[in-house]
Structure 1
């Protein structure tokens, strides 16, 4: 196998899982220095991302929030409409960071009469100063890509709350496993939000169902509700319907 063909197959393999230099060298029967040169060329072209001792597919990179705002906008609006009914009714609601949860925050701002605690700057911008909205801002370190607050300050604030409901976003959601995120501090904050809330809702468009490119997970040990859009196929939804802890709600996007 020549170098061009080897690099093409390496790129394809990395779409399934991260691989180390040693694994790749053994697989192709070449030296580790040869693999490192292959990975450097693939990285320079933007096809992969180098990691310590190996590489991952660039398809698994976390997108900046500004880019994610442009994706599946109609689907996110439909999910937010469906979630709004669950956010009404008094009591404190927790809002995660992210664009879909931000769409819910915009609807709550128009509605008023809610108490919201949030770690997302998108939701804060929608809700700050709105009459009829009591806004609690969770402190912490702001992540540049997600514009969400994480870390010990955010976790300490959540630990002092009891929420009627939490609305979570995710990089991906997998039935029986949970929601995945790019960084451990994101997953840790979500797990704490789940533990401090009576009802749990995950807002995820169809493109996120079954996705597990990110490495850090927050799982579910109690009942939760998935709210997705009507672009989700029966095959995508089947594992969630089979999960005894999960209730599936499908939002109609419309024309």
Structure 2
């Protein structure tokens, strides 16, 4: 098994259990304890986990750098992005939030659309695609989270109205509150929701049953939720949102 695939497996195992033992992981993956220790050291440097004596524990997803979060469940995020992209109507105007799952949607878009985003990664992905009109909401650059935010970026968003605001999530609580780890990120997400006719949420299963400090919206404000698993116990009774599992 290649190193990158092995590290993805380790992160998946850690996600399911919140704690990982070197000895158990080595047996499951058929490698030495030292190989697992080296993998965990690299993943800790990326901000993906905390090493402990004999293993590792999961960390707060909202506090992770976006580049570190992007390697978690990349295939699932691609499926979520592709499923949402397939539902975008031709000619729509979209707000696209910064994030790895919304980036996957941008990569999968095949229809003509206007894309308004605060994500440099999304802008770089679509800049040469003639079917997509790009508007970049620039402002203060956050290299850790890979996004523009602040008053200048919000002022750009305020000049436009979108058919759909498509957001990622740092966390979704069991009671249905979408939250973010950074205040400026939450501000940008709220601005997009308020200036769009409807909002969609893209969130892999890692994001559910967690809470971050800054409130973005309640699930009642979204008409569609795309994920890779059904979320047992998630309170969507107060929402008319359609829950779509990307297969």
Q: Give the TM-score normalised by the residue count of structure 2.
A: 0.71
* Partner residue in 2 for 1:191: 190
Q: How far off is 1:77 after superposition?
A: 0.9
Q: Distance in 2 between matches of 1:154 and 1:225?
A: 26
Counterpart among 187, 193, 215 of residue 217 in structure 1: 215
State how 1:232-247 maps to structure 2 within 5 Å: 232=230, 236-247=231-242
Deviations 1:120-147 (A, max 9, x none): 1111111112122110001111212220
Note the C-alpha offset of 1:211. Answer: 1.3
Structure 1: state its 5+ residue gaps: 1-14, 16-45, 48-56
Q: Which has the larger radius of gyration?
A: 1
Q: Is the 8 A contact 1:112 1:130 kept in 2?
A: no
CA RMSD of aligned residues (A): 2.3
Change in Cα spacing, 1:91 to 1:64, as seen in structure 2 (3 Å) is: same
Please show how residues 62-77 of structure 1 align to structure 2 within 5 Å: 62-77=63-78
Distance 2:58 2:204 in 1: 21
In the alignment, the residues of structure 2 paired with residue 88 and residue 198 of structure 1 have an alpha-carbon distance, to the nearest angstrom, of 14
Distance in 2 between residues matched to 1:98 and 1:59, nearest whole Å: 18
Asked if residue 165 in structure 1 is aligned to residue 146 in structure 2, the reply is no
Which of 227, 232, 249 is the equivalent residue of 2:244? 249
TM-score (norm 1): 0.69
Question: Which residues in structure 2 correspond to 1:96-245 (within 5 Å)?
Answer: 96-108=97-109, 111-174=110-173, 176-212=175-211, 214-220=212-218, 222-230=221-229, 232=230, 236-245=231-240
